[in-house]
Amino acid sequence: MSTTSTPSAGVGREDLERLAAHWEERPSLRAWLSTVDHKKIGRRYLVTAGFFFVLAGLSALVMRTQLGRPESGLVAPQEYNQLFSMHGTAMVFLFATPMLFGFGNFLVPLMIGSRDMAFPRLNAFGYWVFLFAGLFMWASLPFGAAPNNGWFGYVPLSDEQNNPGLHMDVYALGLLFLGISTTSGAINFIVTALKLRAPGMSLNRVPLFVWAIVATAFMVVFALPALNADNAMLFLDRRFGTHFFDPSHGGNVLLWQHLFWIFGHPDVYIIVMPALGIVSAVLPAFTRRGVVGYVLVVLAIVSISIISFGVWVHHMFATGLPQLSFSFFSAASTIITIPSGVQIFAWLATMLLGRLVLRVPLLFVIGFIVTFVLGGFTGAMFAVTAFDQQTTDTYFVVAHFHYVLIGGAVFPMLAGVYYWLPKITGRMYHEGLARWAFWLFFTGMHVTFFPMHLYGLFGMPRRVYTYPNIAGWAGWNLVSTIGSYLLALGVLLTIVGVVHTLRRGRPAPPDPWGGDTLEWSTASPPEPYNFPVLPRVHSLHPTWDARTAESTGPGASADRVLSGGRRTLLTSELDARQERAVAMPESTLKPLALAGALLLGFTALLLAWYPVAVVAALAVAATLAVWLWPPRLPEQEEVGP
């Protein structure tokens, strides 16, 4: 299935040299800190998010070790509170979303046939902010000052009276800081996918992964402001004595919950949606056909992203609102299973109608389907309010959401890691090692979390640091703990596999799997400019399509080579009609400086060094001014339409 190296008949030697000269970054510390290349930034997102995953996973291992037997005294209750809070918060905010943004950053420009994201410097800025915000939050753990009120930080337990100390200030400020990164990343994805698609890639030819990323980005833009508002108010309440959540002064406690879940429910889909996009991207290569029902899958993506905003109240069934108003949300909550089901059936049909090639990425996809569907079942059980009341805040819930989150996000991510590793590193992974990793991860996952359904039903509450020796609890808890070590071994083997790939892997051809999207038409790893000739797209499966291949061969026209500077092509939003070439920025240290100034500001706010915070604010303003100062433009070249 693989083709030989790309640099195609369409470009001359001279053009290639000019492209290389314009896009190259010589290795040096400065270049490393100032790069704006989406591939490097994407890789950094993947590595950093993976690192936070390991930290959050280690917290989970400590918890599982503590819970392995009754009345164990490995950690104190206060420490346990911080462990599960940091675990949940980090998994959701510092691992799942940024990991998927990492895939998006690496892949979206490649998949749509562009040379970079729309705003490369903003992209670099987003990464630095993510890194700093993550370190900001994790740094609190060794000081015993980490968030300690669960990942959803309910008021009034998180207010100043009930929760003194820095814990919840770290939570509020950390999430606000991180929100800057997530929002700027989302806007970048939207503009990139709308304006930089290769000529001819009209909406009906956009890869499903890109649809998923764009839908996710829209969800981020609409959902995150609710969370930001919540955290800003919490910080003001705690630090400056406002009363947003304080009923004794006319505030409202439910306000926290409403705002949190207006963000929180879509957030489940913010995590799962791009992961499902990965599944749709991986399947064609291992079934040798396009995903069945392209239009229906797009429909599912779009409608899930809309419906998920209208169902937040289902997290608040225990708050005593009128039945009638609940029912409006129940209707939508149950109906959202239809588009989710549509996607699952589309994948199953693809596998049935295609010729299966059982490689590791496909194994992870199958593991995903099994696990995710089980999680979906237990989720549907909550729709029965009586059952919901019975199991709320027991380990049954913990079992359910790990099936959904690990099934719906981690399995697809691992599929994606193995699938794109040859493209990202230019080397093939070790198949045997990868298979071991899969089976350990899969077995470990089910051995850990399946028993949680049982002891949840037996009444074991979540968020307890220990439990009495009650029949039915102790044995199953031990099973869970053993499972969690198997799972950890699976993760470890994956890391070993990645390192092995980097060190020892066979060189990868441009297209080892016979994939159908444009990233496979570039070299592995891609050149800094991605495509020597920007392709013209003629179908939904451009690399399986002779006319698209021809467009970068002898059929290439000079207006798609663009070798006179760092440039890429602008096209129209709906039909991707060619508009004009635009200049792309050179690398710069400004994003790093701005993110650093913000880190200083947030740290100063946390530690109540207000004069320093003012200085940091001035530094932020100054950096912004320098960044936005209109550059002296070089002579514009004329480029035809």
Partner 1 sequence: MSAPPGPHARLAGGLLLWYGVLGGAVAWSVHALAAWSLSELACASGSERVAAVPLWEAVGLAVVIPGLAAVGSLLVAVLAWRRTTRARPAGGDSALGRSRMLAAVGIWSNLLFLTIIALGGVAVLVLPPCQR
Closest CB 270 distance from ligand HEM, rounded Å: 11
440 token code pair: 């350990």
- 339 is a site residue for partner 1 (CB under 8 A): yes
Closest CB 604 distance from Cu ion, rounded Å: 36
Q: Which burial class, exposed, middle or buried, applies to 524 when counting CB atoms under 10 A from its CB (0-12, 13-18, 19+)?
A: buried
Neighbour-count burial for 553-586, b at 16+ CB within 10 Å, e otherwise: eebbeeebbbbebbbbbebeeeebebeebbbbee
Q: How many helices (H) and strands (E) does the chain have?
A: 21, 2
Plot region of 117 (φ>0 → left; ψ -120 to 50 → alpha; else → beta): beta
- 309 is a site residue for partner 1 (CB under 8 A): yes
Helix (H), strand (E) at residue 524: none
Asked, as a colleague might, if the bond just before 611 is cis with ω within 30 of 0, I would say no
Find the part of the chain contacting ligand HEM (CB under 6 A) among 33-41, 60-68, 222-230, 423-431: 60-68
Size, binding site for Cu ion by CB under 5 A: 1
Query: Considering beta carbons, is residue 379 or 564 the nearer one to ligand HEM?
Result: 379
Q: Which does 406 bind (CB under 5 to 8 A by kind): partner 1, ligand HEM, Cu ion, none?
A: ligand HEM
Nearest to 172 by CA among 238, 106, 224: 238
Going residue by residue from 183 to 202, which x/- string records binding to partner 1, judged by CB under 8 A? -----------------x-x
Closest CB 397 distance from ligand HEM, rounded Å: 9
* Coil/strand/helix, residue 433: helix
| Cα-based angle 563, 206, 110 (whole degrees, multiple of 5) | 40
Closest CB 201 distance from partner 1, rounded Å: 8
- 462 is a site residue for ligand HEM (CB under 6 A): yes
Query: Considering beta carbons, is residue 341 or 507 the nearer one to partner 1?
Result: 341
Residues 144-173 that bind ligand HEM (CB under 6 A): 150-151
Query: Considering beta carbons, is residue 382 or 513 the nearer one to Cu ion?
Result: 382
What is the Cα gyration radius of the chain? 25
Find the part of the chain contacting partner 1 (CB under 8 A) among 52-60, 147-155, 299-307, 398-406: 299-307
The sign one gets for the Cα dihedral 377, 382, 387, 391 is: positive
Query: Considering beta carbons, is residue 142 or 641 the nearer one to partner 1?
Result: 641
Closest CB 270 distance from Cu ion, rounded Å: 12
Q: Which does 96 bind (CB under 5 to 8 A by kind): ligand HEM, partner 1, Cu ion, none?
A: ligand HEM
CA distance 411 to 282: 12
Of 577, 589, 607, 608, which one interacts with partner 1 (CB under 8 A)? 577
CA distance 53 to 275: 16
CA distance 215 to 551: 29
* DSSP codes joined into one string, 72-124: --SS-HHHHHHHHHHHHHIIIIIIIHHHHHHHHHHHHHHHTT-SS-S-HHHHH
- 332 is a site residue for partner 1 (CB under 8 A): yes
Q: Which does 110 bind (CB under 5 to 8 A by kind): ligand HEM, Cu ion, partner 1, none?
A: none
Going residue by residue from 62 to 101, which x/- string records binding to partner 1, judged by CB under 8 A? ----------------------------------------
Residue in this structure with the two tokens 């392995």, named with its chain if needed: 68
Q: Which does 91 bind (CB under 5 to 8 A by kind): partner 1, Cu ion, ligand HEM, none?
A: ligand HEM
CA distance 578 to 525: 27
Nearest to 206 by CA among 106, 120, 122, 301: 301
Query: Considering beta carbons, is residue 30 or 577 the nearer one to partner 1?
Result: 577
Residues 367-426 that bind ligand HEM (CB under 6 A): 398, 402, 405-406, 409-410
Range list of β-strands (E), 426-577: 567-571
CA distance 132 to 221: 21
Of 331, 470, 608, 614, which one interacts with partner 1 (CB under 8 A)? 331
* One-letter amino acid for residue 596 of the chain: G
Of 21, 29, 250, 295, which one interacts with partner 1 (CB under 8 A)? 295
Of 323, 628, 629, 630, which one interacts with partner 1 (CB under 8 A)? 323
Query: Considering beta carbons, is residue 265 or 567 the nearer one to Cu ion?
Result: 265
Closest CB 433 distance from partner 1, rounded Å: 42
- 84 is a site residue for ligand HEM (CB under 6 A): yes
419 token code pair: 């699938």
Of 64, 205, 265, 288, which one interacts with ligand HEM (CB under 6 A)? 64
DSSP state of 585: P
Nearest to 161 by CA among 42, 273, 275, 246: 246
Query: Considering beta carbons, is residue 466 or 539 the nearer one to partner 1?
Result: 539
Residue in this structure with the two tokens 């399986």, named with its chain if needed: 544
* Coil/strand/helix, residue 333: helix
Query: Considering beta carbons, is residue 114 or 571 the nearer one to partner 1?
Result: 571
CA distance 480 to 63: 11
Of 139, 221, 306, 639, which one interacts with partner 1 (CB under 8 A)? 306
Closest CB 582 distance from ligand HEM, rounded Å: 37
Of 195, 205, 265, 541, which one interacts with Cu ion (CB under 5 A)? 265
Neighbour-count burial for 399-418, b at 16+ CB within 10 Å, e otherwise: bbbbbbbbbbbbbbbbbbbb
Of 57, 407, 532, 601, which one interacts with ligand HEM (CB under 6 A)? 57
Query: Considering beta carbons, is residue 115 or 265 the nearer one to Cu ion?
Result: 265
Binding site for ligand HEM (CB under 6 A): 57, 60, 63-64, 84-85, 87-88, 91-92, 96, 150-151, 398, 402, 405-406, 409-410, 448, 462-463, 484, 487
Instruction: Kindly list the residues in this chain that would bind partner 1 in the complex (CB under 8 A).
Output: 200, 202-205, 295-296, 298-299, 302-303, 306-307, 309-310, 313, 320-325, 327-332, 335, 338-339, 574-577
Q: Please give the residue ranges that form the binding site for Cu ion (CB under 5 A).
A: 265
